[in-house]
Structure 1
Amino acid sequence: MVETARPTHPGPGETGPAEIGLLLYPGAQAAAIHGLTDLFRVANLVATGEDESRPAPLRISHWEAADGAAAPTRVFDTAPDAAGAPVAIVAPPSLGASPTPELSAALAPWLAARHDAGATLASVCAGAFVIAGTGLLDGRTATTHWALEDEFRTRFPRVDLAIDKLIVDDGDILTAGGLMAWTDLGLRLVDRLLGPELMIETARYLLIDPPGREQRYYSPFSPRLDHRDAAILKVQHWLQGNGARGVTLAAMAACAGLEARTFLRRFQKATGLKPTDYCQRLRIGRARSLLEVGGTTIEQIAWAVGYEDAGAFRKVFQRITGLTPGDYRRRFAPHAAP
């Protein structure tokens, strides 16, 4: 018999259902809010065996942050007669622009107070801007959507951003990356509140993968080109044109018209990467495209992107993407063989 892990928060029969509050701020993605609501309702169905006479272990509420209001208020509640406060607050993604500094500042006191009272704070995608506005992420690790990396680092330089991670579970604060990562975050909260067995059953009911993916499976390599270093930009364009195949440090420095040591320093400052890492990411980006098309062996792809040793190619590919070439093809090629 498998023993189910004890939930972090008390379940029904102790102090009532565990409330998860979803934050409705201006611009929040409605699909994520309603999707999380349904996911937690499915967890309740699984937990009660679809017996409506049994008390549901989770209470789902929506908290609307109206313009000019001092604090969000409940506008939806699956257990309106129950007492207590949320054990978790979730800031969903936003559509369009990320939450403004003014919005983050307005919500910060209420979120900090809920956190001080023992609630777990969580975010999905751009919702991390809302949580980071409290200052509670300073000096801690978090994630957000890879396309928001530069903006987030600029606004919150004291946060240790792990942009490759789909979920960062830092105990009392959880952050998730992509727009659809609300499924991963929702299952993580179900795991925490109701235990791993019920989380797996919920995932099986919904036909979705349990948490365990990484954001780097999906994010393409987007080199920095706005650094205004003309010599380095010239090299980047040259590398893009030849696919970074067979290039040497000396050749790159010569292209830039710089001494090797100076080139190394300026290249890393401008791009954030060493030349070797940069070239590897360009090659792997090309390999991802070839794997997605299908019809070519992994050995042929390795050769096409500049690797004479297919084994070395596989190691670099997995280090950068988090998947082996074969796993990547099975996941992303539309007609991949099983």
Structure 2
Amino acid sequence: MKKIAVLLSKNYKLLSVAAILEVFETVNKFHLANNEEKPFLIKLLASPEEAAKNNEAFGYPLLAINTPEVMDLILLPAFTTENMPQTIQTNSACIPHLIKQYNQGASIGTFCTGAFLLGASGLLNGKIATTHVDASSGFAIAFPEVKLKADKTVTQDGRLYTSGGATSSFHLLLHLIQEFCGKEMAIKTAKVFAIDMDRDRQSYFSTFQPSRNHNDDLVAIAQEKIESNYHDTATIEELIKDIPSSRRNIVRRFKQITGITPIEYLQQTRIEAAKKLLERTAQQMSEIIFHSGYSDPKAFRKIFKKSVGMTPSQYREKFQVR
């Protein structure tokens, strides 16, 4: 029997916790219905203060995060927060105990933005990971040593697991169930929760939302120039030529602040514009390509597919508002 613990961190997202508990409890019920031992012993972890006030939550035993009991798997749910650095700081007391559990043999899995807490532990340094696609740029800036795979639904690197946003959490749960209980049980669970097991990318759910929450005036000027003139077929050098600084300095500071280069920023701005036109208009593809700032249809389609994970026509078919 695997000992699974869900961390009730501060600012945890209730929906994330509920999904984890429901899926593992469903698998337990499947086994009990077949007169088999349930495969998972589910517990919850919380701060010592919270655990001292309550010995259970949601009907499960509640233990302090500093428990000497070693878990087989610790799961970190998503956060509900508009200030991730503050939320990580609020939960920083958990980090040494997560590291200790990992060093004693526990596996750790994160759901959506829960990856930020694992990233702050340093355990992900040099390893692959994913998170909510719209939080990926912030994650890349905060944890540059992590090999972020922002388009991936699920990643596994040794005993560390991460998942993308929202429904991607179910894909990580299925991945874990398949690993612990076999593919047949994973398929059975997928059918109960109506999960498409074949989805391995989340990039087409992303929305490019560049941050302006910084104090670098040079970068802000560059962002404004790109966002105001992306539809021109000018190169990035032409767009930023009037900024009073060397190209090298602009690129360095721009990537430090935004997590991507000015060229990548221009590409993502153009692709986001194309996505909106595909969703909201009936324009011909040639018009969309032109209004997005591209002159070469072949280059546009190549960049679009690489960025979004599907062709422009497939994206329109999937997301157009009819």
User: TM (normalized to structure 1)?
Assistant: 0.76
Structure-2 residue corresponding to 1:91: 76
Could you tell me how far 1:196 is from its partner in structure 2? 2.5
2:102 maps to 115
1:132, CA displacement in angstroms? 3.2
Q: Count residues in correspondence.
A: 307
How far residue 88 of structure 1 moved from its aligned partner, in angstroms, is: 1.1
Match of 2:299 among 312, 317, 337: 312
* Aligned residue runs from structure 1 range 245-260, under 5 A: 245-249=232-236, 251-256=238-243
Identify the residue that residue 43 of structure 1 maps to in structure 2.
27
**Superposed counterparts of 1:1-338, under 5 Å:** 17-45=1-29, 47-48=30-31, 51=33, 53-67=35-49, 75=57, 76-77=59-60, 86-96=71-81, 97-98=83-84, 99-104=87-92, 106-149=93-136, 152=139, 156-210=143-197, 212-225=199-212, 230=217, 233-249=220-236, 251-256=238-243, 262-263=246-247, 265-271=249-255, 272-335=259-322
Which deviates more, 274-283 or 141-150?
141-150
Give the residue type in structure 2 aligned to 1:223.
P
8 Å contact kept, 1:167–1:177: yes
C-alpha deviation, 1:266, in angstroms: 1.3
Structure 2 residues without counterparts, runs of 5 or longer: 62-68
| Preserved CA contact (<8 Å) 2:134 2:209 | no
Does the CA-based 8 Å contact 1:26-1:66 persist in structure 2?
no
Higher helix share: 2
Contact 2:233/2:295 (8 A) holds in 1 = no
Distance (Å, rounded) in 1 between the aligned partners of 2:235 and 2:148: 31
The residue that corresponds to 2:66 in the other structure is: none
Alpha-carbon distance between aligned partners in 2 of 1:182 and 1:51, rounded to the nearest angstrom? 26
**2:88 partner letter:** T
Q: Return 5+ residue gaps in structure 1 as ranges.
A: 1-16, 79-83
Secondary structure in structure 1 of the residue aligned to 2:33: coil
Distance 1:275 1:116 in 2: 40
Report if the CA contact (8 A) 2:130-2:152 is conserved. Answer: yes
Bigger Rg, structure 1 or 2: 1
Provide the C-alpha distance between the structure 2 equivalents of 1:190 and 1:88, rounded to a whole number of angstroms. 12
Tell which deviates more after alignment, 172-181 or 28-37: 172-181
Rounded Cα–Cα distance in structure 1 between residues aligned with 2:305 and 2:240: 29
2-structure distance, mates of 1:126, 1:295: 35
Alpha-carbon offset, residue 322 of structure 1? 1.9
Superposition TM-score, scaled by structure 2 size: 0.79
The secondary structure found in structure 1 opposite 2:78 is coil
Report the alpha carbon displacement of residue 121 of structure 1 after superposing the two structures with TM: 0.5
Q: Percent identity?
A: 28
Indicate conservation of the 8 Å contact 2:225/2:240, yes or no. no
Per-residue CA distance 1:92-125 (angstroms, 9 max, x = gap) = 0121244332522x22343233223322101113
Which digits, 9 at most, give the CA deviation of each residue in 1:125-179, with x for residues without a partner?
3322332343322333333334545654565454344434332211201122324
Summarize the Cα distance change of 1:265–1:290 in structure 2 as closer, same or farther, 3 Å threshold: same
Root-mean-square deviation over aligned CA pairs: 3.2
